[in-house]
Amino acid sequence: MYITQDVSFRRDKLNIYGKLFAPEVLSEVLTGEKASSVGGNFGGKADEVTETIESIEAAEEHAEEATQAPFVKFPGIIFSHGYGGTGVTGTFYARALAEKGYAVLCIDFCGGGEYSKSDGSPLELSLMTEAEDIAAAVRYMCEQSFIDSRRIFLLGESLGGMASALYANEHPELFKGLMLLYPGFCFREIVKGIFKSFDEVPESYAYLPNLTVGRRFAEDIWDFDIYEHIAGYRRPVLIIHGNADSLVDVSYSVKAAEVYPDAELHIIDKAEHGFRGADFRQAMGYIDKYLEKADASQAKIH
């Protein structure tokens, strides 16, 4: 069984909405902390995240010495949705993982889509702003007393997978692992397929039918080689992609698996962009095995 809670936190002056899925055992904890967990002013800088982790660890050590009773903590997972979507697309993954003992935060990117509950305009959306939102989500998770800050994973789909990969590479010390579902490493090529030069990009345009974005979206990725910016991530990476994906060709994930020092790629036969039914169950099987390996390595460390 699992429980859910709506939460919000901040990136600069913008409110970010998220839904937290957690093991049922945390019911009383979340009820007691609801007031403090909603609306906190959490920025997205990596050094602030690291400082938060260090201060939390120091406080926990002091509390444990005083009580001689260790506090049970749970690993955390941050789910990042795809272009034009919301955190709702992570619901099935979050439910399954919460029932297995993980606390999963599904966020709505600022300006991420028509139905996003977060602040911000799609005209301000970009790969970099999504990475900043992920940073704020990491800070939020690290401030929760029931989260094991040493066991935080990123799980991203499509454009959210690309943003997750970028942020993980920039701050690998913050994460236990990285899981990518049909990551959108093709977005630069799509933009350049629409416009011959950056000068042709208007102030707003329908990048895909489900969302109108601004010039910044193209500006941030025009000369950005994502593969150069993920190759430094040396921890295990899980990539899952379907070979019938018409939006992001599987070849982009094949190349990513070659670039990453430690990656496992699973290609689901006839699966499209977004896993459902048997494809979802197969993907969850890969995720479960990946997390089991990560937990096993954690146990060896201790």
Identify the band that residue 41 occupies on the pLDDT scale cut at 50, 70 and 90.
very low
Type of residue numbered 245: D
Element (H, E) at 16: strand 14-23
Length of the chain: 302
pLDDT over threshold 50, residue 65? no
Q: Give residue 126's Cα distance to chain centre.
A: 15
Q: Are strands 211-214 and 147-157 parallel, antiparallel or unpaired?
A: unpaired
| Helix axis angle, 158-170 to 127-142, nearest 10° | 70
The owner of tokens 């399954």 is 96
> 2-294 in CATH: which number?
3.40.50.1820
**So what's the pLDDT on residue 42?**
29
Beta-ladder partners of 208: 211
Q: What does the alpha-carbon distance between residue 36 and residue 113 come to, in Å, rounded to a whole number?
A: 27
**pLDDT 10s digits, 152-179:** 999 999 999 999 999 999 999 999 999 9
The answer to whether 112 and 126 have CB atoms below 8 angstroms apart is no
Q: What average pLDDT does the segment 120-131 reach?
A: 96
Domain extent listing, the chain: 2-294
Range of lowest pLDDT (111-125, 164-178, 195-209, 212-226): 195-209
Top-confidence residue, 55 or 241? 241
pLDDT over threshold 50, residue 274? yes
Q: What average pLDDT does the segment 257-265 reach?
A: 98
Judged by DSSP in three states, 266 sits in: strand
Q: What does the alpha-carbon distance between residue 116 and residue 154 come to, in Å, rounded to a whole number?
A: 20
Q: Where are the alpha helices (DSSP H) in the chain?
A: 27-37, 46-67, 91-98, 127-142, 158-170, 187-194, 215-221, 251-259, 277-301
Q: Are strands 103-107 and 204-208 parallel, antiparallel or unpaired?
A: unpaired
The closest alpha carbon to 163, from 134, 189, 197, 121, belongs to 134
Q: What does the alpha-carbon distance between residue 8 and residue 164 come to, in Å, rounded to a whole number?
A: 19
Cβ-count burial of 223 within 10 angstroms (0-12 exposed, 13-18 middle, 19+ buried)? exposed
What residues have CB less than 8 Å from 288, skipping those under 6 apart?
100
Identify the band that residue 97 occupies on the pLDDT scale cut at 50, 70 and 90.
very high
**So what's the pLDDT on residue 56?**
43
The answer to whether 135 and 45 have CB atoms below 8 angstroms apart is yes
**So what's the pLDDT on residue 32?**
59
Q: What does the alpha-carbon distance between residue 70 and residue 54 come to, in Å, rounded to a whole number?
A: 18
Q: What does the alpha-carbon distance between residue 77 and residue 3 come to, in Å, rounded to a whole number?
A: 15
Give the number of other Cβ atoms within 10 Å of residue 284's Cβ.
17
